[in-house]
Amino acid sequence: MGFLRFVQQTRSTLGRYLSSPAPTVERTLNLVLGNESCDLDSAISALTLAFIYSQRQQQNDYVPVLNIPRMEYPLKTEVGYLLDKCGINQSMLVFRDDLPEQLDQRVRVILVDHHISELASLVKEIYDHRPLDKDNPALKSLPKDAIVHLEPELGSCATLIGECYLAEEQPQSADVSRLLHATIVLDTINFSPAAKRFSHRDLVMVQNLEQKLNQQIDRQLLFDELRAARADISQLSLVQVLRKDMKIVHTARQQVPMAGLPLLARDFVARDGAEEAVREFGRGSDLVCILGMYVLPDDGQVQRDVALISLTPESQLIKRLQQTLVEHANPKLGLFPYDNDIKFMNGCFLSQRNVQATRKHILPVVRQVLLDWEETCNC
């Protein structure tokens, strides 16, 4: 079965397990679940890994799941753009809200581009390139026989999936090769020396995929095309811009939304209506964290910044978080207050000089500060 045909059948495959009566054939449903930001790396890695496993283990069913509500798919502009080029539209895809609230305990889950999940007890395998969040209690719920592929040196999870894909003996799909190739090019910022978001394995994977495609690909043209699709927020409200690439930092008592933007945080808050958008985005939370990134179109240089915004009069938590991030040494984030003080909701705005540090480095720090704060304040 080809890749496009596989994707076209995923909703009906899932439907068989949700129907009553359940299928009589003894098959196992495996959900291949991307992370909750549903960026291009997460979405493409989940879709392609599910296809690879469906070819490898045809006695079972594999369904890729985009880990966002269906209504938020239009926010993922670069995902929609790339999938549209392969003939895949929103109606073919399975989203988080297509799943029942309670999964049958016989269902197995494969986590892609993350390794912390509320479905941990059902996980059979993990593919991720984030540093291990070893202090997260959810890890204790993982089955002891779960197989974990954790490669934090990789710039893209798609490289890890690509290695799995190229190891297969079956005929390979040009669509899968194109999707993985494009994802790695975008994720590594086209192997920008300044950004340093790639390893030798990422570069080798892109070269191998180009050989499989047997065509000369202008990587810079491809990168510019995907970067423009990702940065296209012309049809989005400011709240949607904040939700476009969002992760939530969870503790037992708090949840902090963390937005990744295709522009700098300082430029976002300068827009009309930004305060109302931040308050709506952070509803139910005491704190909002915004990670801004802008890639200069001429030379590919990356700029980053961080905004910490309190939604309550209490500002001590912001000060604690700012101090911890500034002093964090592994890796050193290179955070400094902007030279010109930004007046926005009494927030803290930091320019980030270490542009190689991404959300996967910052999120665990934020979570640990929240845990320490709760313990100290007994709140």
Dihedrals phi, psi of 109, to nearest 5 degrees = -125, 135
Answer positive or negative: Cα dihedral of 120, 126, 128, 132.
Answer: positive
Least confident of 74-83, 103-112, 172-181, 337-346: 337-346
Residue type, 154: L
Among 113-117, 168-172, 341-345, name the most confident range.
113-117
pLDDT 10s digits, 189-198: 999 887 788 9
- Transcribe 288-310 into DSSP letters: EEEEEEEE-TTT--EEEEEEEEE
Q: Which two tokens mark 21?
A: 């009566």
- Residue 166: other Cβ atoms inside 10 A: 16
Q: What average pLDDT does the segment 246-270 reach?
A: 92
Q: Which two tokens mark 22?
A: 């359940």
Angle CA(205)–CA(223)–CA(5) in degrees, nearest 5? 65
pLDDT at 86 over 90: yes
**β-sheet bridge partners, residue 349:** 307
Q: What is the pLDDT of residues 353-365, one digit of tens each?
A: 999 899 989 999 9
pTM (predicted TM-score): 0.87
> Which range is least confidently modeled, 145-159, 280-294, 302-316?
302-316
Q: What letter would DSSP give residue 22?
A: P
For residue 64, give the H/E element and its range. strand 61-65
Q: Tokens in use for 378? A: 């007994």
Decide if 155 contacts 187 (C-beta within 8 A). Answer: yes
Range with lowest mean pLDDT among 30-44, 166-180, 194-208 = 166-180
Closest CA to 124 of 103, 156, 149: 149
Q: CATH homologous superfamily for 3-224?
A: inorganic pyrophosphatase (n-terminal core) (3.90.1640.10)
Q: Where are the domains of the chain?
A: 3-224, 238-377
Is residue 379's pLDDT more than 60? no
Q: Quote the CA–CA distance of 154 and 202 in Å, as a whole number.
A: 7
DSSP secondary structure letter of residue 285 = -
**What average pLDDT does this structure show over 130-143?**
86
Q: How confident is the model at residue 112 (pLDDT cuts 50, 70, 90)?
A: very high
What does CATH list as the number for 238-377?
Answer: 3.10.310.20
